[in-house]
Chain A
Amino acid sequence: MARIGVFVCHCGENIARTVDCARVVEELKSHPGVVHSEDYKYMCSDPGQALVRKAIEENDLTGVVVCACSPHMHEKTFRGAAAKAGLNPFLCEMANIREHCSWIHEDRGEATDKAIDIGRTIIEKVKHNVPLETIRIPVTKRALVIGGGIAGIQAALDIADGGAEVVLVEKESSIGGHMSQLSETFPTLDCSQCILTPRMVEVLQHPRIKLHSYSELESLEGYIGNFKATIRKKARSVDEDLCNGCGDCQAACPSRKIPSEFDAGIGKRSAIYVPFPQAVPNIPVLDRVNCTRFKAKRKGIEKDVCGKCQEACLKGAIDYEQEDSFVTEDVGAVVVATGFQLYSIGRDQPAGLKGYGEYGYGDVPDVIDGMQFERLASASGPTGGEILRPSDGKPPKTVVFVQCVGSRDPEKGIPYCSKICCMYTAKHTMLYKHKVHDGKAIVFYMDIRAGGKGYDEFTRRAIEDDGAQYVRGRVSRIYRDGDVVKVWGFDTLSGEQVVVDADMVVLATAMRPQPGIAELAQKLSISYDEHGFINEAHPKLRPVETNTAGVFIAGACQAPRDIPESVAMASATAAKVLGLFSADELEREPTVALVNEQTCIGCFSCEQVCPYGAIEHVDVCDVEGHVCGVVARVNPGVCQGCGTCVAVCPSKSVELQGFTDEQIYAEINALGSW
């Protein structure tokens, strides 16, 4: 016989304002099976929880219904209270009379009636609840970090320093990411490489970090605590074990005019190359697209041509026949830190984006983007740190900086703010003015967004100390006129049109997720937003978790992020990962799917729709032990309790524990019965 206790919360005024809690208590007191009913101003408070515990003990309750807020909010709280009083926590349920009732209704009478109905449905459900036991699964204390930019480096180091092993996968030949390309960093103007490269070396030398450079995640199987990652090590044509990084191959390579990706296209590199001298690992990669030998092969020339790098290599490390290879790594957690790419504003645009043809990027040589300016300003860049414009190599005397190119422009496909551009543009004006003292820096901006420690002071410094001229307004057109670059803009503060004869223009282009992020997200069973940024599990309370347990996110793969934020997120993921690894077994909520193997026909529709790969095949044997059929079984460690299999099962042979057909049916029936 059910002995249910009902606890109605006022939530201060949140519920009590529109719901007559005393009447809810009174009505539900006489509901069949209810033996105790009371209300309290804040049921979630300590005295409130004490009421629940006391009632369970005194009345020997078999079920608890808390009429209060969403289960998202306090289900854990009250289940904890129930457990303390000796009741199985899964016999406690929330009836949501706040989000589903008091917050959305005005009429007190009707809202109270509805609150009573909601209470009745959950009382009926609880009568069908059964005690469930927490699931325990083993955990592999080893983390996979995808992406070796500053976020990935920080996450890897923090996790490894915490005592766990780390596998770091980087798709480029060196770790470092975008930060390694930067000249200086805001708001302190310290040299980017000077603070980054020691961290990179630390990664390489750390006894608990295994680095796979020039590699990508091929597939991920398994579940929290027990993932199996397959990593594709792309053919770099260089034997990593033999190479000692002497650089002789690079010096011998005759193809030297290939635009350097590291220098954002304004510098040149050879076909076999390390992207920059401080690369980690310092092992070159052969760019087969641009290599003379491979080009000849593709043209159908049988004879081996060139081969200069192989001749130059004293170690015999160059291997033209090398192919992609695969390694598998067992890991218990995954950190995604794949970062961003800059919005390519040229003519070729992906679906949904229109580009900025009117800004002449790609056509006018002296119109460059922010990353190209970084390389111009960098001491390790192609100009050795001198600001020289690309067209004729002269120092530009007037430089126009345009902010929000791409960002905050829903018309062109990107409505969000890229966050870092206000700051890096201010930094650019300072770097420029520090190098070209008589130069003029003009910034077209929409708003200056400088929230952050020392950020507003930094932009003020650019304007007040270094004399950057800020014009509030957008630029309509940029084109080449003889020796100068004409910039047409509008000053919205003076209401006048502005035409500038600039020597160079720097466009602060938007941040976009890395290409291939959708495929990666699908491999990891995590979701991404309309722009391709990875979704966090909760925007405020679970910012570095994803909707797949054991997969975490750090840095600009989640949203535009600057360096301090990326590092903070990375450390946060490390805390999450180390927390996960702190126990030998993981505890999981038992609200997972369960197959009725008696009625399952083994059609495996569930397997096809399961987003987590939780369905396993199990042989069914007859009395003599002969296999007579195959049915589905849910791996409780993998199942996330989404219920898709329940919906798709034609014979209704799968049920979600805690949300069984009987429970749902009882809830529905309760609506019409009283």
Chain B
Amino acid sequence: MKELRDLTRKLLADGDAGVVIGWEEGRRGARPAFITTPDDADKLIFDARCVHNLANYLNPRKPQVKALGKPAVVVKGCDAKAVAGLLREAQLTRDRVILIGVRCGGVVQTPEMPAELTEATVATRCYGCDVREPKLVDHLVGDARPEPPVTAALDRRIAELDALSPRERWQFWTSQLAKCTRCHACRQACPLCHCERCITDKTQPQWIESSSHLRGNFAWHLTRAQHLAGRCVGCGECERACPVGIPLSLINRKLQLVVKDLFDYTVTDDPEVPAPIGAYAVDDKQEFIE
């Protein structure tokens, strides 16, 4: 912790960064913090409750963050993958952000949970994490943390759904997506949903109905999933933001598995590795053509 706070103080005092984005103690657990003066550096914390993906604040279309000056962002490994995504998609240049990596031992599902990780509280995305020490960083702070408890709940649930008949699966997703109120919190929370004008806001023509109706809901969630295929870093922010509890991580994780199978691609924190939609390999599977 001291290491992080000292670094923050230095970055702000030296004028290297205009703002350091990290986490602080809030009324309901950890919450994002925007530190702009060295004196506030001691507010910063990092523990298993720091679930938020702060890469979201690097979206070039967030003027209120831009106004604070050059950002330094505290990133976990999964957050660094999102930063890599922004770099890959030309939404950010590496020299315009300072990345403070933290060694992560897994996080809990929501920031208000106690910081102790158990099999019941650990976030599903921490299963199989390959970036517990982020590589895409300017500074790396904190000590190595122990492995989080293992939970394969997400993959188990996907296997269960895959085992259903198409009709049963349709019923499951109908019941889930019927709940959607089209508040688009999933989109706002996603660090990689960075379009100026989202396709669901396009009205001429209106491809996706915007009212809360099963037909439009399906169109929206299918489109959202397709747009994130091969890009989603699996940070789970969309699911956490959803006020009606749609299990979006199931869709995101399933897509990760499909992309892995079809293109042998896993989202990485190396911005130089092209996303599968823009990469051509001679041995790409083409079974869908036959």
Contacts and interface: CB of A to CB of B under 8 A. Distances in A.
Interface residues of B, number: 21
Nearest to B88: A603
A601 B195 contact: yes
B67 interface: no
B194 interface: yes
B90 A603 contact: yes
A602 B60 CA distance: 11
A662 B60 CA distance: 29
Given A609-B278, A661-B205, A661-B207, A651 B89 contact: no
Contacts of A607: 278
A187 B280 CA distance: 46
B207 A608 contact: no
A665 B209 CA distance: 13
A599 B279 contact: no
Contacts of B274: 608
A586 interface: no
Interface residues of A, number: 22
B227 to A, nearest CB: 5
A605 B278 contact: yes
Interface centre among A601, A604, A629, A652 (most CB of B within 10 A): A601
Given A601-B91, A603-B89, A665-B207, A608 B197 contact: no
A605 B277 contact: yes
Given A608-B277, A661-B205, A602 B199 contact: no
Contacts of A265: none
A651 B196 contact: yes
A648 interface: yes
A600 B204 CA distance: 16
Contacts of B202: 652, 661
Nearest to B199: A652
Contacts of B194: 601, 603
A650 interface: yes
B196 A601 contact: yes
Interface in A423-479: none
Contacts of A599: 195-197
Contacts of B281: none
B277 A609 contact: yes
A608 B195 CA distance: 18
A608 B279 contact: yes
Contacts of B279: 608
B198 interface: yes
Nearest to A661: B205
Interface in A628-647: 629-630
Contacts of A601: 61, 91, 194-196
A665 B203 CA distance: 11
Nearest to A663: B205
A601 B207 CA distance: 20
A601 B277 CA distance: 17
Contact of B195 (A630, A651, A666): A651
B89 A605 contact: yes
Interface centre among A601, A607, A609, A650 (most CB of B within 10 A): A650
Nearest to A648: B277
23 contacts: A599-B195, A601-B61, A601-B195, A602-B91, A603-B89, A603-B91, A604-B90, A605-B89, A605-B277, A607-B278, A608-B275, A608-B277, A609-B278, A629-B60, A648-B277, A650-B227, A651-B196, A651-B197, A651-B199, A652-B199, A661-B205, A665-B205, A666-B205
